[in-house]
Amino acid sequence: MTRRTVRIAMNGVTGRMGYRQHLVRSILAIREQGGLELEGGTILWPEPVLVGRRAHALRAIADRHGLEHWTTDLDTVLADPSIEIYFDAQVTAARATALRRAVAAGKHLYCEKPTAASLQGALDIARLARDAGVRTGVVQDKLFLPGLRKLKRLVDGGFFGRILSVRGEFGYWVFEGDWQPAQRPSWNYRAEDGGGITMDMFPHWEYVLHELFGRVTTVQALAATHLPQRWDEDGKPYAATADDAAYGVFQLAGGAVAQINSSWAVRVHRDELVEFQVDGEHGSAVAGLRNCRVQHRAATPKPVWNPDLPSTEPFRQQWHEVPDNGEFDNAFKAQWELFLRHVVLDEPWRWDLLAGARGVQLAELGLRSSAEGRRLDVPELSL
């Protein structure tokens, strides 16, 4: 058995998502399982090199997990020929510049979304990477969640027949930061720092809709800033200049209509923090992060509207759980493993920088739709 080491420059691991999901639950989890086993007895061994701006935070993470390599000097890392992959989970405003530098250094790219602050910027990076001949990947983690994998199984199996509509609800109350600490960084609520829920979540909705139900062809959205003042990490008040809620209606290529609400100013009254209801001619499903329930047309009850009497219908009990039929790994780790196989073995891969640009396009058009108060077409993208 031979070991194939892949050195990965991981930029942004001092942030919550970069640290928890990408470093600990993905790369370190792969190492804890003994590496990624490839055909022919080869073990792929990821070797992270931590990159960031705060030396003390990087040193603390490295010491905590017994890692040898960390640095605040991105240029030195990119100049190192032993580094094969550059990963970016920085704040949005810093990502595009770093990705361009990584492409110029000939590194394969894997990054969080959005890939840039504008569609033009996202396409420019995608073209640079294509011309440089490097492999690229964009995190599209929700496709690998158990609930959505079960939903995809239903779609592929023809459970719904013709799909009519998709309704999504995402969000939770993010505390303002004055009397309780906020659960998200303050830059998320400043437009000048790349914040805003439309740019954060519409890229997610693009790939979920595209992969499961069909390409988005039109968008009509309303972005709102419900809470105009918040308090930062130092307890100082600041003006929230970015949208904290976005309400979108999307037409899909197959004829279905999707409606998705996203909000950091909503209190949760559902089973999971995100849920999608899909209604088709032959059946319906409700999928969340982990669970998925269905109701087939043959088992659909016939409720009667009567506002004069209390409802006696046990509506939630009339749905049936979709079985796991297998084990589900961490969604981020599952996609990391596929990307590593893509880099090393050239296995098929479709979640590249062009896919990431589609997400930026939808967010950009959603904000424009909100500003102009009209529905907009979503052109197909190509490089």
Digit-coded pLDDT (tens) for 90-128: 988 899 999 999 999 999 999 999 999 999 999 999 999
CB 264 within 8 A of CB 185: no
Q: Is the pLDDT score of 11 beyond 90?
A: yes
pLDDT (average), residues 172-189: 96
Q: Report yes or no on whether pTM surpasses 0.85.
A: yes
Q: Where are the domains of the chain?
A: 2-140+331-351, 142-327+361-376
What pLDDT score does 150 carry? 98
* Backbone dihedral angles phi then psi of residue 216, each to the nearest 5 degrees: -75, 125
Which residues are CB-contacts of 188 (< 8 A; sequence separation ≥ 6)?
195, 196, 197, 200, 242, 264
Q: Give the C-alpha separation, 252 to 155, whole Å.
A: 15
pLDDT at residue 1 in the model = 77
Q: From the CB of residue 302, how many other CB atoms can be counted at a distance below 10 Å?
A: 5
252-311, pLDDT tens digit by residue? 998 999 999 999 999 999 999 999 999 999 999 999 999 999 999 999 999 889 999 998
Measured CA to CA, the distance from residue 275 to residue 292 in angstroms comes to 9
Q: In terms of CATH, what superfamily is 142-327+361-376?
A: Dihydrodipicolinate Reductase; domain 2 (3.30.360.10)
Tell me whether domains 2-140+331-351 and 142-327+361-376 share a fold: no
Quick one: average pLDDT of 230-235? Answer: 97
Q: What is the pLDDT of residues 143-170, one digit of tens each?
A: 999 999 999 999 999 999 999 999 999 9
- Residue 278 sits at φ, ψ, to 5 deg, of -115, 125
Instruction: Tell me the per-residue pLDDT of 54-76, one tens digit each, with 9 for 90 and over.
Output: 999 999 999 999 999 999 999 99
Q: Mind listing the pLDDT tens digit for each residue in 24-48? A: 999 999 999 999 999 888 999 999 9
Mean pLDDT of all residues in the chain? 97
What average pLDDT does the segment 234-250 reach? Answer: 98
Q: Give bridge partners of residue 47 from the DSSP assignment.
A: 7
CATH of domain 2-140+331-351: 3.40.50.720
Residue 312 pLDDT > 80, yes or no?
A: yes
What's residue 311's pLDDT?
Answer: 87
CB 189 within 8 A of CB 265: no
pLDDT of residue 95: 94
Residue 134 has pLDDT above 90, yes or no: yes
